[in-house]
Structure formats: structure tokens, C-alpha cells
Amino acid sequence: MPADEPGRMSRRTLMAALAGALAAGCGRVAFMAANVPAAFGAYTRHANRAYGGDPRQRLDVYVPDRMSAQPRPLVVFWHGGRWSSGDKADYRFVGAALAELGYVAVLANYRHYPDVKMPGFMDDAARAGRWAAMHAADFGADANRLYLMGHSAGAHMAALLALDRRYFAAAGSSPPRVAGVIGLSGPYDFLPLREADVQDMFGPPPNYPDSQPINFVRSDAPPMLLVHGLNDETVWPRNSRNLAAALGASGVPVTLKLYPKLVHADTVAALSLPARGRAPTLADIAAFVGRDQAALAAAGAAKA
């Protein structure tokens, strides 16, 4: 046996253990399992850049190490956690996966309920998205190729930010151009609100409709990729189905990916190396961004 073979065996054993932890959905253990291999990706992480004065208004920027002749797509990601928990540090595997595709990834924290209610976390989303667009060139990214992405509550925020113009308008002049939205297991059409905390964070009742991305669908909305597991009992798959149908009826390009047997966390966990085989989320994202960029290039050529 070669001298380095025990090391290889140890790595295989480690990866198997990490995959098992993610499959078990063991909370903190699962995040550790996802993030151990991500720490060794070919990217540079610029951590804790401030986009506001609150300690939660911080973001991390992931820049691929390999050179690129052209400015890169820019993807801003918001974590889930029922608008009341979670941290960008738990999702380092998302930044690593997006950098692997050649994108500049921005993972943003935001203020949580009950410290803020809506629109507090939406205001943070708008400020983070605007910061990313303003600083895109600093990291070799193209501000005109800005994608908003999230999982669960973060997917809700990404979709609502893209659809309801009020948030970017409130964040400052010249709102950025959103090239597309990538939503993983997101709630987009979830009335009536039954849980007391959700009623409080989105209340009072006359404001409930403002919390629903589906209520702001418009014909000039950006293209969307909506990914959902059919065994999701945390956010029902009808949320993605209904939003996709409303977008399609308005003439908005939309790609709906529904995967059998996947539960709520699977769609984002599949971006991690240990769980990469669970679902083709990373390939879905690459195809969506690539197709959108090809369409933009074709439209530009037609105008020339």
C-alpha cells in the first residue's frame, strides 16, 4: 500500500461520516459536516463586510481564485430560519459551491424577529443587495448580472425583494437590475397565517397580503428558478407551484424543479460536497444562470 493511502482512506471515511450527519439532519452537526470540506475550496472569503450599522448587517463575499476574462455573475444569498434565526457562517458551503461555478457569492446576515418585524428584515435584504451591486466591480463581478437567492425564509426575502419595488426604492436611488431569482424551498403564497409569531412579525392583519411574494407578480419580473422537495412538510411545495404558475401566466420565464423524496433542508444541503448527490441543485443553478446569460447575449447581439 502506498504511504499516502491511509490518508485517502481517512478522507473517504470522513466524507462518509459527513454525508451521514447531513442525511440525519442533525442541526449544528449537519452544518459542521457541510462546512468542513467547504473550508478548503478554491476561493477567497472576505468576511464581515458592513452594509449597515447594526451588528447583524454584515456579509461575506466569496471570490473564485481562478482568473476570469469577463466580470462574473453576482449571487446574493439569504439563509433560512423562520426569519428569526440562522447565520451566514453556517452556510459557508453555499458560498463555496457558488464560487465553484465561477460566481462571486455574497452571503448576508439580517436582523431577526423579534428584534425587528417586517419590513425590518426586508429593508436589510434591500440594503445588502444594493451594497453587493455597488461593490460588484471591487470583486470582479458584473452588477448587471445580479441574482438574488435564498433558502426557506431567505427564498421568501429574495423573491419579495425582486417583485415588490418598494424595498429597493427605499434603500436608495438607482435600484440595481436583478437578472434572476433562485428560490430553494421558499414560502411565496402562505396565507392564512396561523402561527402567533408569524402573525406578529407580518402583522397587523391588514398588512398580511404585503408579505406574500405571489401578490406582487408582474410581467416585467426577472426570470426565476424555483426548487422544492415534494416531501417538504415545513414549507408546502404548493408555494413554488403557485408562484411558478402566476409567473408563467404573466409571461415571466420560470423554471420549476420539484424533486421526489426531498425534505425541506435537502435542496440547500445538496450544495454541500457530502450531500452533492442528493439533488442536482448546483446543476440547476448553473443551467439557469447560463441560460439567462445566453439569452441576454443574444438580445444584445440582435440590437447591435
The sign of the torsion formed by the CA atoms of 243, 246, 248, 252 equals negative
Neighbours of 143 (CB within 10 A): 16
CA distances from 96 to 75, 117, 248 (A): 12, 31, 32
249 alpha carbon, distance to own chain's centre: 24
Which domains does the chain show, CATH number per domain? 29-298 (3.40.50.1820)
**Whole-number pLDDT of residue 302:** 56
Cβ contact 56:83 at 8 Å: no
Q: Tell how strand 178-184 and strand 141-151 pair up.
A: parallel
H helix and E strand count, the chain: 10, 8
**Whole-number pLDDT of residue 9:** 38
- The tens place of each residue's pLDDT in the chain, 304 residues long, gives 333 333 333 445 545 555 555 555 556 667 777 777 777 889 999 999 999 999 999 999 999 999 999 999 999 999 999 999 999 999 999 999 999 999 999 999 999 999 999 999 999 999 999 999 999 999 999 999 999 999 999 999 999 999 999 999 998 778 999 999 999 999 999 999 999 999 999 999 999 999 999 999 999 999 999 999 999 999 999 999 999 999 999 999 999 999 999 999 999 999 999 889 889 999 999 999 998 666 655 655 555 5
Smallest CA-to-CA distance from 51 within 145, 177, 135 is with: 135
Neighbours of 221 (CB within 10 A): 22
Q: Under DSSP, is residue 47 helix (H, G, I), strand (E, B) or coil? A: strand
**Whole-number pLDDT of residue 29:** 65
**Whole-number pLDDT of residue 37:** 74
SS (H, E, C) 115-166: CCCCCHHHHHHHHHHHHHHHCHHHHCEEEEEEEEEEECHHHHHHHHHHHCCH
Q: Which helix (H) or strand (E) holds 68?
A: none
Would you state the cell numbers that stand for residue 58, as one nine-digit string?
454584515
